[in-house]
Homo-oligomer: A and B are copies of this chain.
Amino acid sequence: MTAPRWLDESEARLWRAYLVLVRDLRRAFDRQLERDAGLSGADYAVLVPLSEAADGVLRMRELGRSVDWDRSRLSHQVRRMEKRGLVAREDCAEDARGSMVRLTDAGRAAIEAAAPEHVETVRRYFIDQLSEDERAVLTDVFERLNQRLDSDGAV
A residues at B contact (CB < 8 Å): 4-7, 10-11, 13-15, 17-18, 20-22, 24-28, 31, 68, 115-116, 119-120, 122-127, 129-130, 134-135, 137-139, 141-146, 148-150, 152, 154-155
Contact = CB atoms under 8 A, between A and B. Distances in A.
B146 A14 contact: no
**Number of this chain's copies in the complex:** 2
B146 A21 contact: yes
Label chain A's interface by main secondary structure.
helix
A21 B145 contact: yes
Contact of A130 (B25, B27, B115, B141): B141
A5 B145 contact: no
A119 B4 CA distance: 7
A148 to B, nearest CB: 6
